[in-house]
Structure 1
């Protein structure tokens, strides 16, 4: 056999051998494996039982951050420093409350039943709520728009000896009709104890207010704007010069003039009552010019 024939025979044998090996080892390389042979690994779920976000939502305000106030076990004072993200939320809340004076936030503090309360407060939860309130106030929030409550619970999320975020917040509307409001009750007492008395010239329904009288008007307007279901009483008086019936009529005109003045300053007409006493209730002697001038007046009080 010639060299050329042997050479061609060798090439043929290599091709045949390669084909056999390919069929044996590589033919099923792309064949999908049965589903039962594939091991499915479930996604990893990260669970952190110590995560309690700082959330204040309600009445058109929403804020949330992953950071929160922290308290050591048995301790009523929040751990410092406070997170910057919490400070941002407090600043936004301040802006909201300034624009919504009838809104308030109730801060509820929590403590666990196995903690010891060494504070003056009824329970450690209430002490924590007041500590958070004081922090809010230090940042410029009005104390009158912040209430506090405290509750004792069986457990809370902790990290070692630290309670994470044992405080909650709830919006509410300030009850301006409540006579229990010390500030408004005190203002009413102030107004009625030293009522606004407006004096008039003879046969005139006009007056010029001094600084003290202007402040009294401001107090009355402030009270009526903030305390619902209340009204102001304007009583007109006169001296005893001339016909009594005319004096009663003139005193009523003075009361009506004072009422219109209050209306112009923002008080609803339906909340202002007027009446005339004419010359019947003098506060000075009508025998003198000064006494008569003193009796020509209107007296404005809160009913």
Structure 2
């Protein structure tokens, strides 16, 4: 083949190859990409699963919000302020219970097994249930329409060191039968037959409760929560060291301390009366150290 023929063949091959490559790779180069629907993107909702909803659900009431009441780990004190959405639910509950006097709500509070209970209640879950009840009552709800229970479980949803909504609410009718009345009478008799007695060190009017004493506090809280006319009586006592007038004053201080303690743990202070017997009603011999220790006390009963 002549050089001229080879030259022309090369030109033809170049044209064919160029056309092929253009069609394969560049024919869509000028096609515009459809615009992104920004409205659809901005309306995409990513569900937040790091919450426990606040739920009030019974016959005649159904309220849900993703916010909730919160407690710090190892604490029985409700974190305040409470969110607006939860307070709206509490207002709905207030309206519902006011219109349904025979309805009651059982609040079950929860605590985890790795938490420490430093309250007067038998477990931290019960202490939390009572603090929730106290908050509801502070919002104008009737204490008589609430029961409280507490449970210790393995785990609960938390955010850092905060438990999210460790409580549940069960709606049911108040039992007004004679059997229920007998039950409360029996509880009062039990409380008064083996009253809560707090002992104090010499010249002191403060005290740390034992586990048994905490159970007795819980029984008093339970009783006063259901029997609206119940009144708690606290009588302060002392040993006979020093003059009588000073000991009467000391006995009254001990009674007032006990009143403050009970009021912080679920009993309305207006339903607690105090008095002092000073050294006048000893239960032990004032000639011995143990006898004096037994006399430095407050005795708590239901009137």
Under a length normalisation based on structure 2, what TM-score does the superposition of the two structures give? 0.47
Calculate the TM-score normalised by the size of structure 1: 0.47
- Pick the structure with greater CA Rg: 1
